Amino acid sequence: MKKILRSVLVLLISIGVTSISFAGEGMWLPLFLKSLNEAEMQEMGMRMTAEDVYSVNKGSLKDAIVHFGGFCTGEIISDQGLLLTNHHCGYSQVQSHTTLENNYIKDGFWAASHKHELQNPGLFAKFIVRIDDVSKQALKGVSDKMTEKERQSTIDKNLATIKKAAKLDKFQELEIKPFFKGNQYFSITTVTYNDVRLVGAPPEMIGKFGADTDNWVWPRHTGDFSLFRIYANENNEPAEYSENNVPYKPKHHLPISLDGVSPDDFTLIFGFPGRTNEYLPSDAISQIVDVLNPAKISIRDRALKIVDSAMRADPAVKIQYASKFARIANYWKKWIGESKGIKATDGIGRKEKLEADFTKKVNGNKKFKVKYGSILSDFKTQYKEIEPYALMRDYHGEVLGRNIEIMRSANYMVSLADRYKDNGEEEYNQFKDRLISRYFDGFYKNYRPEIDQKVFVALIEMYDQNAKMEMNQPIQALLSSLKTKDYNVLAKHLFENSKFTDQESMYALLGQNPKTAVTQIMADPLYQFAKEMSSAYSNNIAEKYSAINGEIEKNQRLYMKALMDVFPDKAFYPDANSTLRVTYGKVDGYTPRDAVEYTPVTYLDGIIEKHVEDDYEFHVPARLRKLYDLKDYGQYADKNGKVPVCFIGTNHTTGGNSGSPAIDAYGNLIGLNFDRAWEGTMSDYNYDSSICRNIMVDARYILFIIDKYAGARHLIDEMTLVHPKED
């Protein structure tokens, strides 16, 4: 028996079937589930068919999934359009309704009835009607001999033809996107609802429990969820906000399982992953690990330290900077984990091994050799050539685009002055009004020039010392005109003589007639500095970067095609591109480092363990501690009488998958995806089933908070709660 098994294994391996080592890699296109994944999913425990997950003919799980605001995922969990997503996905909506009297961030928010649900202008929920392969039509007339420009314009014409010919129902829209690096195209038919109201959110000390310290970390205890509701007109169609709108009646809503998860249980995540890069060559990965990530990390390191100490010294600063800090810290921490993970799993070595296999196959086949023989050496040259430009691009973006706050404002002022010069007064006035209401009003509310000046000094020094290709010329020129070598003197000069750093002087400036205002803007030292830095960037970096990058993209397209050609038995999935994908895996712990083993489920007990009185990250609300003391858990505890909080699985996810449902073998909701474990954040380049884990909130914790903590029983009543394991 063993012998037979072994020979079957050897056979499978030798024909390149990947399922043996499978444990979660892949963000699969729903329309190919039947042909590529169904058998494996069922083998892993799924009790549904591919058609139950995605169908264009009948109601399926897909009909309960929405792209939430274009940046997260949400799912429908009642027949009245109730929508579940993450707390961090709905955060800015909750914040926008928050006032000092009604502090929904701090205290949470629960609409007592439909009429208390809060309107959110601009927020949308997009359903996917169907996805179709239109590669043939999209690439009609495209040949290898074309320049990139000719190729793109042929494709653009083809896409326009496809769109024109498409038969769409009322309210349907058609998007066409490239997949597999532009080797294939798919059209996506969507319907978008624009009246999406806030229904409920737990207090921040539950929804964001553990904040930045626990972000990207397992074991985790965050109740990262919030509730919205989609509204429609009386015909259940999309409609702009109106009092007459009614709750949307979905084609399908997800039942919620009260039976929870055990290790090895099948899990399916259905959502909208944003961006991954799984088919990069080893040269690109080394550049990320050795050059680009360290630069970005060190810049944010400096900035975050300065902001952190200011936040700790002053509670008012803490409030002003909390959200900005979280945003900067999120990817800072992710990059650190990513680089560590690539090193720990020999991500570069593994790519090199794949490349060696690839080269062997290519060299053994004349046709391949002609078409694909130079791909890898071309990559080597191209990545070497782009390196200084890519580095300066990241440097410029991080220092001047992101971390020094006032530079963003100064850049807007450059655009404003350009508007006047290029398009005249009317456009200037329009742009100015928009800038004030959409940017500056919010900016000054949370701005402390004295903190930003410190960040400026630290980062401009780094920029000056690491600059290549004369990108620091404007800094050097300014230093010498001020007859100093001290960055403090330079910063002081700019901050003290500019009208941009203070709301009053800025609004006085913008309040003048356009001509006078523009004259003064152009005389402002921060305007001049911003203008010089950005022209240095466009002259020295931008053009060259995009030329080399164009070559890389072309080569990457060929490499993708080559991989599919050379390894015909391997199932490929396209990189994430904010389109609907299925990823499946199982509930599973992992070993993050020597002698440490993680189990896959956390409990309310762990929240109580982490409690620190009055700490802004770890203070547990008294009410939650009381429920714990009384063991008042209702139907939400497990067999052992404990309330599960979060669990991890081997599902392959990325940014944008936040808010995605975790679905069990039968199609019920068991959890809500919101993060990944730190050791495995390199899954964006190199998924490794030994350490890549997605983090989900257990559905029972969500229900427990809604019911027992918030007392919003009416919301539980509209859901469909089930016991799949008992049945």
Task: List the catalytic residues.
Answer: 88, 224, 658
Per CB under 6 A, 684 contacts ligand ARG: no
CB atoms within 10 A of CB 35: 10
Task: Please identify, among the stretches 49-57, 141-149, 209-217, 497-505, the one whose residues bind ligand ARG according to the rule CB under 6 A.
Answer: 209-217
DSSP annotation of 34 reads I
Instruction: Give how far Cα 389 sits from Cα of 396, 467, 533, Å.
Output: 10, 10, 15
Per CB under 6 A, 653 contacts ligand ARG: no
Beta strands in 211-323 (DSSP E): 226-232, 246-247, 256-257, 266-271
Between 91 and 527, CB nearer to ligand ARG: 91
Per CB under 6 A, 281 contacts ligand ARG: no
Token pair of 545 as six digits: 């970067």
Token pair of 568 as six digits: 């015909």
Per CB under 6 A, 610 contacts ligand ARG: no
Task: Please identify, among the stretches 211-219, 442-450, 497-505, 550-558, the one whose residues bind ligand ARG according to the rule CB under 6 A.
Answer: 211-219
DSSP annotation of 621 reads P
Token pair of 587 as six digits: 């509930």
Beta strands in 258-387 (DSSP E): 266-271
Q: How far is the CB of 334 from ligand ASP (least distance, A)?
A: 7
CA–CA distance, 412 with 393 (Å, rounded to integer): 19
What backbone phi and psi angles, to 5 degrees, belong to 77? -125, 20
Q: How far is the CB of 94 from ligand ARG (least distance, A)?
A: 13
Taking CB under 6 A as the criterion, the residue among 204, 212, 679, 684 binding ligand ARG is: 212
CA–CA distance, 300 with 314 (Å, rounded to integer): 21
Q: How far is the CB of 200 from ligand ARG (least distance, A)?
A: 19
DSSP annotation of 28 reads B
Site for ligand ARG in 476-515 (CB under 6 A): none
Between 28 and 91, CB nearer to ligand ASP: 91
Per CB under 6 A, 215 contacts ligand ARG: yes
Size of the residue set binding ligand ARG (CB under 6 A): 10
DSSP SS3 for 188: strand
Per CB under 6 A, 311 contacts ligand ARG: no
Q: Looking at the DSSP assignment, which residues form a beta bridge with residue 267?
A: 585
Instruction: Give how far Cα 47 sits from Cα of 38, 75, 125, 583, Å.
Output: 10, 21, 29, 16
Between 93 and 654, CB nearer to ligand ASP: 654
Between 403 and 653, CB nearer to ligand ASP: 653
Q: How far is the CB of 87 from ligand ARG (least distance, A)?
A: 9
Helices (H) and strands (E) in the chain, counts: 29, 21
Q: How many residues make up the chain in this entry?
A: 727
What backbone phi and psi angles, to 5 degrees, belong to 127? -95, 150
Q: How far is the CB of 508 from ligand ARG (least distance, A)?
A: 36
Between 211 and 582, CB nearer to ligand ARG: 211
Taking CB under 6 A as the criterion, the residue among 62, 88, 126, 177 binding ligand ARG is: 88
656 binds, among ligand ASP, ligand ARG, none (CB under 5 to 8 A by kind): ligand ASP
Task: Please identify, among the stretches 208-216, 336-344, 527-535, 626-634, the one whose residues bind ligand ARG according to the rule CB under 6 A.
Answer: 208-216
Residues forming contacts to ligand ASP in the complex (CB under 6 A) are: 653-658, 674-676
Taking CB under 6 A as the criterion, the residue among 283, 405, 575, 675 binding ligand ARG is: 675
The three-state DSSP-derived secondary structure of 276-344 is: CCCCCCHHHHHHHHHHHHHHHHHHHHHHHHHHHHHHHHCHHHHHHHHHHHHHHHHHHHHHHHHHHHHHH
Q: How far is the CB of 648 from ligand ASP (least distance, A)?
A: 11
Between 456 and 674, CB nearer to ligand ASP: 674
CA–CA distance, 693 with 626 (Å, rounded to integer): 32
CB atoms within 10 A of CB 327: 11
Q: Which amino acid belongs to residue 531?
A: K
Q: Looking at the DSSP assignment, which residues form a beta bridge with residue 192?
A: 126
Site for ligand ARG in 312-351 (CB under 6 A): 326, 330
Token pair of 483 as six digits: 């007859």
211 binds, among ligand ASP, ligand ARG, none (CB under 5 to 8 A by kind): ligand ARG
Per CB under 6 A, 118 contacts ligand ARG: no
Task: Give the nearest residue (CB) to ligand ASP.
Answer: 658
Task: Please identify, among the stretches 50-58, 207-215, 249-257, 483-491, the one whose residues bind ligand ARG according to the rule CB under 6 A.
Answer: 207-215
Taking CB under 6 A as the criterion, the residue among 658, 660, 683, 686 binding ligand ARG is: 658
DSSP secondary structure string for all residues of 525-572: HHHHHHHHHHHHHIIIIIHHHHHHHHHHHHHHHHHHHHHHHHSTTS--
Q: How far is the CB of 622 from ligand ARG (least distance, A)?
A: 23
Per CB under 6 A, 584 contacts ligand ARG: no
CA–CA distance, 400 with 410 (Å, rounded to integer): 10
DSSP SS3 for 256: strand
Per CB under 6 A, 216 contacts ligand ARG: yes
Q: How far is the CB of 654 from ligand ASP (least distance, A)?
A: 5
Between 88 and 393, CB nearer to ligand ARG: 88
Q: How far is the CB of 149 from ligand ASP (least distance, A)?
A: 35
326 binds, among ligand ASP, ligand ARG, none (CB under 5 to 8 A by kind): ligand ARG
DSSP secondary structure string for all residues of 147-170: -HHHHHHHHHHHHHHHHHH----T
Contacts of 369 (CB under 8 A, 6+ apart): 362, 363
Q: How far is the CB of 675 from ligand ASP (least distance, A)?
A: 5
Between 326 and 608, CB nearer to ligand ARG: 326
DSSP annotation of 619 reads P
DSSP SS3 for 131: strand
Per CB under 6 A, 354 contacts ligand ARG: no
CA–CA distance, 438 with 441 (Å, rounded to integer): 7
Between 676 and 700, CB nearer to ligand ASP: 676
Between 116 and 327, CB nearer to ligand ASP: 327
Which chain residues interact with ligand ARG by CB under 6 A? 88, 211-212, 215-216, 326, 330, 655, 658, 675
